[in-house]
Amino acid sequence: MGRGTEVELSRRLYEDVLGMKRVTLAEGMLLGDFADLARTGSFIIHSRTHAFALVEGVVHDWEARTSHPRTKIEAAWKVTDLARGKMRKMEGLMKELGA
C-alpha cells in the first residue's frame, strides 16, 4: 500500500492478460514528442514513478505534475481491440457481481 504497482505486474496484466502491445519505440522518448506521433489510438504510459493514459495524442491524468511534455517515458503499451473487448467483459462481470 502506498507504493504503487510493481512494473512487472503491470506488464503481465497489459500483455499476458489483456493482449496489449508494448511500444518499444516510445521507451526513452519525451512524452510531448511521443504524443505528437501518437495522434490516433490509446496508450498506457509509464514514467519512472507514475502511469497514465494517452488517448488520441492527449494525456489523461489526474496528477498533471507527473505527465508534462518533458516527462521521460519508461514504457508504453497500445490498447488493442482485444484488450478493449476483455475490459468490456470484465466491466459486465463487475456489474453483474454488484461491484
Q: Is this structure's pTM higher than 0.95? A: no
- For the chain, the domain total comes to 1
70's CB contacts (< 8 A; 6+ apart) are 30, 31, 32
Q: Is the pLDDT of residue 1 over 60?
A: no
Q: Please report whether residue 1 resides in a domain.
A: no
25-83 pLDDT, tens digit per residue, is: 999 999 999 999 999 999 999 998 889 999 999 999 987 777 889 999 999 999 999 99
Find the distance separating the first CA and the last CA of the chain, reported in whole Å: 21
* Boundaries of domain holding 40: 7-96
Cell of 74: 519508461
Q: What is the CA radius of gyration of the chain?
A: 14
Q: Please report whether residue 2 resides in a domain.
A: no
